[in-house]
Amino acid sequence: MTDLSGSDQAGDDQPAPPPKPKVSRARTTAAGKPASKAGATAAGKPGSKAGATSRPAKPATTARPAATTTKPAPAATSVAAVRPESIVMDGGGMELAQADRISLTRGGITRAEATNVDVRQGGISRVEARDVAVSMGGIALARADRVSAEMSGVGIALSGESRINQSFVRTMFARDVTVDQAAVWNLAANRVTFRRTGVAGIVIARHVEGDMRVLLDWRGAIAFGAVVGVVLGILRRR
C-alpha cells in the first residue's frame, strides 16, 4: 500500500493560491454613455420638449388659391371672315356659293350670295348680289341692284337697273329697264326704254320710250284681269 500521508502533507504545505481580485464594473452613466436619458430624449426624440425648443418652427403655409380654369370663349366667326374672296367654277355644281365674286361657266348653283356674279353658259336657281350678269345662261330668281342678261333667260328679276339684250324675261320689277331686241312678258318699272323693236306682254310703267310692240298696256292688263276674274267666278259656281 502506498503511503498517502506524505502526499497529503506535501499538499497541505503548498501555499494556497492567491484570491482572485474582485473586479467591480464602474457605471458609466455620465462618461461612458454619450448622453443621459434626458439628453437622449432631448436629442434623439424630436417630439420631446427639449427637441421642440431646438427644432426650427415650420413656416406658416399659406392657402393656395383655387386654380380656376376658364375655357376661352370661341371666337365669333363673322360671315366676312369665312366668305372667300372669289369662287371660280368651270363645270360641276354647288348647293350654296358665298363669296365676294362668283364666276360660273358651264355649271350650276342652287343658291348664290355675292357682290358680283358672272354666269356664262351656266345656271343659278336663286341669286342675291349687287351686280348680276348672265350670258347664254339662265337664272330662275335674281335679286340685285343691277341685272344684265344677254342671250339668256330669266324667270323673275327684282332690280334697280336692268338691261335685257336678246333675252327673255318672264317677270321683271325694276326702276329703270332697257330692252334691246328682247322680250319681257310682265314688266313693271318706273322707266322703260325699248331699242330695236322690243316685245313686251304687259307693261306697267310711268315713262315708256322707243320702238316697242306691247301686247297689253296697263289699261288692257286691267281689262284682261277683270275678264279672267269673271270667268274664274263663273267656273267656281259650277
Q: pLDDT digits over 8-54, tens only?
A: 444 445 555 666 655 555 454 444 444 444 444 444 444 444 444 45
Contacts of 47 (CB under 8 A, 6+ apart): none
**Mean pLDDT (whole number) for 169-177:** 93
In a domain, 30, yes or no: no
In a domain, 22, yes or no: no
Residue 87 pLDDT grade (very low, low, confident, very high; cuts 50, 70, 90): very high
**Residue 81's pLDDT is what?**
52
Range of the domain at 222: 80-237
In a domain, 13, yes or no: no
**Residue 83's pLDDT is what?**
74
pLDDT, tens digit, for every residue of 121-148?
A: 999 999 999 999 999 999 999 999 999 9
* Distance (Å) of CA 113 to CA 97, 137, 188: 6, 18, 25
In a domain, 204, yes or no: yes
Please state the φ and ψ torsions of residue 71, each to the nearest 5 degrees. -75, 135
Is pLDDT above 50 for 5? Answer: no
| 236 sits in which H/E element | helix 218-237
In a domain, 62, yes or no: no
In a domain, 90, yes or no: yes
Contacts of 197 (CB under 8 A, 6+ apart): 181, 211, 212, 213
If one compares 91 and 154, the residue with the highest pLDDT of the two is 154
Q: What percent of the chain has pLDDT over 90?
A: 39
If one compares 214 and 137, the residue with the highest pLDDT of the two is 137
In a domain, 39, yes or no: no
Residue 105 pLDDT grade (very low, low, confident, very high; cuts 50, 70, 90): very high
Q: What is the pTM of this model?
A: 0.57
* Distance (Å) of CA 98 to CA 69, 112, 149, 213: 38, 6, 21, 40
CA nearest 183: which of 192, 197, 175, 173? Answer: 197
In a domain, 182, yes or no: yes
Domain count, the chain: 1
Residue 199 pLDDT grade (very low, low, confident, very high; cuts 50, 70, 90): confident
